[in-house]
Amino acid sequence: MRRTLLLCAGLLSSCLSQAAPVQQPEIHFEKVQEYAAKVIISRDRDAPTACDVEILIAGQAPLSLSLGESVELGIPAGKFNVELALSPAGYCGSMNLHSQQSMLVRPGETRHFQVMVSQDNIFLSPLPDPVQASND
């Protein structure tokens, strides 16, 4: 019985050594930020105050927007806390306007916001996607 097993094992190994090697396809992985999203924040030219607005989105460096400016940020998708405040420079600091709100951005999504400033409030207002709005 041992001889039979040894004989079968020898035959099997000689058959396998004669078989053609299996070609494995070459796989290339690209670095894809599948969880990346984009946020575009703009500042209306007709705001009631000329004070710059400071914006802090979790994980990003603080930024400042003047009247009529826009900024585009690449961020990971998810829920973020956004802090807004008028610049503390000059008379703007005496107004002491600031707020916090949350923002939810899905993977691959581009969200558009406009900074809204009134005498007693400051916040981000969602805007429709200009591409979709022009297609409607």
pLDDT tens by residue, 45-95: 777 778 889 999 876 788 999 888 999 988 888 898 999 998 887 777 777
CATH number reported for the structural domain that contains residue 45 in this entry: 2.60.40.180
Dig out the tokens for 29 from the structure.
């992985």
Does an H or E element contain 37, and which? strand 36-43
Buried b (16+ CB within 10 A) or exposed e, 75-114: bebeebebebbbbeeeebeebebeeeeebebeeeeebbbb
pLDDT of residue 75: 86
Please report whether residue 55 resides in a domain. yes
Please report whether residue 67 resides in a domain. yes
Place of tokens 């916001």: 113
pLDDT of residue 51: 85
Helices (H), 83-136: 92-95, 130-135
Please report whether residue 3 resides in a domain. no
Please report whether residue 30 resides in a domain. no
Please state, in angstroms and rounded to a whole number, the distance separating the CA atoms of residues 127 and 44.
12
Please report whether residue 14 resides in a domain. no
Query: How many domains in the chain?
Result: 1
The whole domain housing 67 covers 36-135
Please report whether residue 50 resides in a domain. yes
Please report whether residue 71 resides in a domain. yes
Please report whether residue 10 resides in a domain. no
Q: Is the pLDDT of residue 14 over 80?
A: no
